[in-house]
Structure 1
Amino acid sequence: MPDDPADPNDPAPILPAAPDPGDCCGEGCVNCVHDVYEASLERYRARLQAWRARHPDDADAEDPTH
């Protein structure tokens, strides 16, 4: 059942890894690693919000990005 908080088929989303400081070349790339990371965070937050709606009683559902 997908609404079961213990359902292994519906785990909480995983926070994307932040880029290392040396990953950015500082040249102002169109797809800078920081831009890609921010886009990943936006998708993560949207997935977390949807997951929280399905698991309202789960204490581990906090957003570590805020």
Structure 2
Amino acid sequence: MRGFSDLNLNGASPARVQPAVGEWGPERIPTTQAKKRLRIWVSLGFVASVCALCGLGWYFYKVLNGMA
């Protein structure tokens, strides 16, 4: 049928990565709010890990130079 588009939005993706489809649409898809919260948590985690690595480096620098 030439005039119609293919409504299969999954394309060639494997079945294990396709969302489960319920009666009214996809199930267990994260909401926009959940994505925003996760983005904030990831950013905070990244900043915390960089600060921890810098603090550890500073500590080792002090210990190796005999200042601590």
TM-score higher than 0.5? no
Structure 2 length-normalised TM: 0.38
Structure 1 length-normalised TM: 0.39
Q: Which one has the bigger helix percentage? A: 2
When Rg is computed on C-alpha atoms for both structures, the one with the higher figure is: 2
